[in-house]
Structure 1
């Protein structure tokens, strides 16, 4: 049986997918300090092998895509919602 707590927590999570210009492990470490310090972000990853350098973020629903884009843009990275 699945815990009600687990079900409630899973319903509160949203997945965001972005196209970026993150090109290296150094870039990943740089954004890592930003993303890891955000309490709404539960998990994230970057696919450096993909042509779009896809950033995937699992976050609480309180965190909006525009907030993520603006924050990464201020750090000098291109970031746009991947549709």
Structure 2
């Protein structure tokens, strides 16, 4: 059973498969990322990260440093 406290949701500007691939590759290199996905069909381009150790701010900082917009989806 998944612990919903460990699911981090973000609104992004990831707009194509190439961006999705780049962001996912970057996040897979982080210790603590258990699962991740980007929904390119959703208007908010939702990034979903499952991690018991990372927080929203850590992910936002990393994504923003690589030129993408990312904010916590509430």
Q: TM-score, normalised by structure 1?
A: 0.81
Larger radius of gyration: 1
Corresponding pairs, count? 73
Deviations 1:22-78 (A, max 9, x none): 000000111122111012000000000000000011012x21110000000000000
Conservation of the 8 A alpha-carbon contact between 2:13 and 2:69:
yes
Q: Aligned to 1:74, which of 65, 71, 74?
A: 65
Which of structure 1's runs of 4+ aligned residues deviate more than 6 A? none
Q: TM-score, normalised by structure 2?
A: 0.91
Q: Where does structure 2 lack aligned partners over 5 or more consecutive residues?
A: none
For residue 6 of structure 2, give the secondary structure of its aligned residue in structure 1.
strand
Q: Where does structure 1 lack aligned partners over 5 or more consecutive residues?
A: 1-6
Instruction: Report 1:1-83 matches (<5 A).
Output: 14-60=6-52, 62-83=53-74
For residue 71 of structure 2, give the secondary structure of its aligned residue in structure 1.
strand
RMSD: 1.5
Which protein has the bigger strand share?
1
